[in-house]
Chains A and B, each alone.
Chain A
Amino acid sequence: QQPVQSPQAVILREGEDAVINCSSSKALYSVHWYRQKHGEAPVFLMILLKGGEQKGHDKISASFNEKKQQSSLYLTASQLSYSGTYFCGTRSGGTSYGKLTFGQGTILTVHP
């Protein structure tokens, strides 16, 4: 079953912060975050394995609550280059071969 992302869209001014949430009804093995710009391939941001780890990548970080099957992506001091659609991809425990199930995406727009 597809994970649910919220919000569906976010509009920010440069320098503002945002949080994107991803929630699954299945037990998760890992959560993968990607950013996709229009007409381009999804670009890998980070992966979180079960265990509640929080990962960071410059001013983008994420957390994973294994018990709630939820992950959040935190974007701080947003830059114009952060604009795009953010997808979470989930891998469920026991799922064979590592296929990912993606949420519907969150459109992030950063204005000057």
Chain B
Amino acid sequence: DTGVSQDPRHKITKRGQNVTFRCDPISEHNRLYWYRQTLGQGPEFLTYFQNEAQLEKSRLLSDRFSAERPKGSFSTLEIQRTEQGDSAMYLCASRPSDRNILSTDTQYFGPGTRLTVL
């Protein structure tokens, strides 16, 4: 399977702990997005990487959140000092970089990491 993968699929943590999620995009997709989805809502944009550069961050991404994409391949999203309000599904999506406009605009989502903060 060559789709977007995320790890772990589920994470339960206690308030105040730090958590880290990993996303492996589709091979050769140089664009990567993180979204957050709460129950009954659509995904909300968190941050965007083009290769290893983080080019855009949402206001939703407080200073407790940090994301990296070393070497432009996999990405990690870390949440420090988790709060109950951080409980959500964290989705990663990747997008290709070829010249076909329809292909380059399509984002493919991973299965997500469901975070529960107790």
Interface residues of A (CB under 8 A from B): 2, 30, 32, 34, 39-44, 47, 49, 87, 89, 91, 96-105
Interface residues on chain B, size class: 20 to 34
B48 within 8 A of A: yes
Which residue of A30, A34, A91, A99 has the most chain B CB atoms within 10 A of its CB atom? A99
Residues of chain B in range 22-49 having any CB-CB distance to chain A below 8 Å = 31, 33, 40-45, 48
Chain A nearest CB from B4 CB (Å) reads 8
Residues of B within 8 Å of A105, CB to CB, are 40-42
Write out, one digit per residue, whether chain B residues 101-118 have a CB within 8 A of any chain A CB (1) or not (0).
Answer: 110011111111010000
Which residue of A32, A41, A104 has the most chain B CB atoms within 10 A of its CB atom? A41
Residues of A within 8 Å of B40, CB to CB, are 104-105
Residues of B within 8 Å of A49, CB to CB, are 101-102, 105
Contact yes or no, B91 A42, CB < 8 A: yes
**The residue from B31, B107, B111, B112 contacting A32, defined by CB atoms under 8 A apart:** B107
A104 and B55 CA atoms in complex are apart in Å by 26
Residues of B within 8 Å of A91, CB to CB, are 105
A94 and B59 CA atoms in complex are apart in Å by 19
B50 within 8 A of A: yes
A32 and B50 CA atoms in complex are apart in Å by 20
A98 and B55 CA atoms in complex are apart in Å by 11
B69 within 8 A of A: no
Residues of B within 8 Å of A39, CB to CB, are 114
Chain B nearest CB from A43 CB (Å) reads 8
Contact yes or no, A102 B108, CB < 8 A: no
Contact yes or no, A102 B101, CB < 8 A: no
